[in-house]
Each structure stands twice: as C-alpha cells, then as structure tokens.
C-alpha cells in the first residue's frame, strides 16, 4: 500500500495504477452538488481548490472530541455534469467518491486527475482518518458546504489512473 502526501503535483501521482490501494495524507476539500453549481456560476474558483484533491461527501455532525462525524463518499455520478468543467477550471489532481463515472468524465480526467474510490458504507472508518474539519466556503449549505479536511492515512483505491486505466473497464 502506497502513502501519498499532499500537496503533490500530478507528476507525483504518475506511478499510481488502477486497483492499487493508497493511504492519503494532507489537505483535501469536500465538494458536492450544490457547491459545484455555485462554483461554476461565479467565474473565479478559489485558489485553495486549484491543484487540490476533492472528496464527494457531506459529513454528519461531529461527536464530542471528534473532528467530524461519519464522512463516507457520495455517489460520484451525481457530479458528472460538473466534473469536466471543474477539472479544467481547478487543475485538481484527484477526486474521491464512489461508483463508476461517465465516459465524458473519464476522458476529461485522463492525464489530469486520479479518480479514487473511498470505501462505501464505511463512513465511520473514513472519519477515523480525519484529523481536522472546517467549513471554508458556502457555510450556509450545512453538510454540502465546502470543508477543508486534514487527513492521515485515509484509505482509498485508485479507480482510474492517469493513463486512463480504470477498474470498471477503462475509458469507453
């Protein structure tokens, strides 16, 4: 299992292969449907998202002495209509979610960003890897706000690597 440390550039991710398990460390940002729509409507993307890894999730409230509540992945296909534009505007290097993506998204991400799968149904396990969580944008959206998450050994699977190899069968 490989450990990935953020910030990183795209070159640091070239060795990752579809199907590989990784442990992600550093800062990632949550981004869901409403935040995608708002970001694409404003023109300028916040600098903190540029070159980052985004995670499709909306957390539950944190319990006492915890950084976050359950934080399992949201179905990625829900963001497919936004993803090609977000990839282009933000130069993100990775997306974390669950499930298969559309052919258009797979093509848009090839050579630009890794698609990671988080373990679906294991939101409490994912939460164990979150050291800090803070809503940083669109706080009024509650669980759909953009959260900055500091993660340590966040367990993921490479679904689509930079070459376009994909555990669901590659780029169609």
pLDDT band for 11, please (50, 70, 90 cuts): confident
pLDDT at 169: 81
3-state secondary structure of 111: coil
Q: Give the distance, in angstroms, between the CA of residue 70 and the centroid of all CA atoms in the same chain.
A: 16
Question: Quick check: 143 and 71 in contact, CB under 8 A?
Answer: no
Residues 49/35/155/18 CA torsion (nearest 10 deg): -80
Q: Is the pLDDT of residue 42 over 80?
A: no
Span 83-110, mean pLDDT? 94
Distance CA 109, CA 115 (A): 8
pLDDT band for 111, please (50, 70, 90 cuts): very high
pLDDT at 73: 95
Q: Which residue has the tokens 């990671």?
A: 116
Q: What are phi and psi of 19, to 5 degrees?
A: 95, -15
* Average pLDDT in the chain: 92
Domains of the chain: 2-9+25-160 (3.20.130.10)
Closest CA to 154 of 65, 69, 32, 28: 28
Which of the two residues, 11 and 153, has the higher pLDDT score?
A: 153
Span 71-82, mean pLDDT? 94
Sign of CA dihedral 139, 60, 21, 85: negative
Exposure b/e, 31-46, CB count within 10 A at least 16 = b:
bbbbbbeebeeeeeee
Q: Is the pLDDT of residue 107 over 70?
A: yes
Span 69-76, mean pLDDT? 94
pLDDT at 12: 84
Q: Is the pLDDT of residue 172 over 60?
A: no
CA distances from 155 to 4, 79, 127 (A): 10, 22, 11
Span 139-163, mean pLDDT? 96
pLDDT at 171: 61
């Amino acid at each position: 299992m490989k450990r990935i440390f953020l910030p990183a550039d795209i070159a640091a991710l070239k060795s990752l292969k579809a199907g590989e398990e990784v442990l992600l460390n550093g800062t990632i940002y949550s981004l869901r449907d409403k935040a995608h729509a708002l970001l694409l409507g404003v023109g300028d993307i916040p600098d903190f998202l540029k070159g980052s890894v985004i995670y499709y999730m909306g957390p539950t409230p944190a319990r006492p002495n915890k950084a976050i509540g359950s934080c399992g992945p949201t179905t990625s296909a829900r963001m497919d209509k936004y993803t090609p534009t977000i990839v282009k505007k933000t130069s993100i290097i990775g997306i974390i979610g669950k499930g298969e993506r559309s052919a258009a998204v797979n093509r848009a991400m090839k050579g630009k960003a890794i698609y990671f799968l988080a373990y679906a149904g294991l939101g409490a396990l994912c939460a164990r890897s979150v050291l800090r969580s803070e809503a940083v944008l669109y706080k009024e959206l509650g669980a759909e706000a953009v959260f900055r998450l500091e993660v340590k050994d966040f367990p993921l699977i490479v679904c689509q690597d930079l070459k376009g190899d994909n555990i669901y069968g590659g780029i169609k």
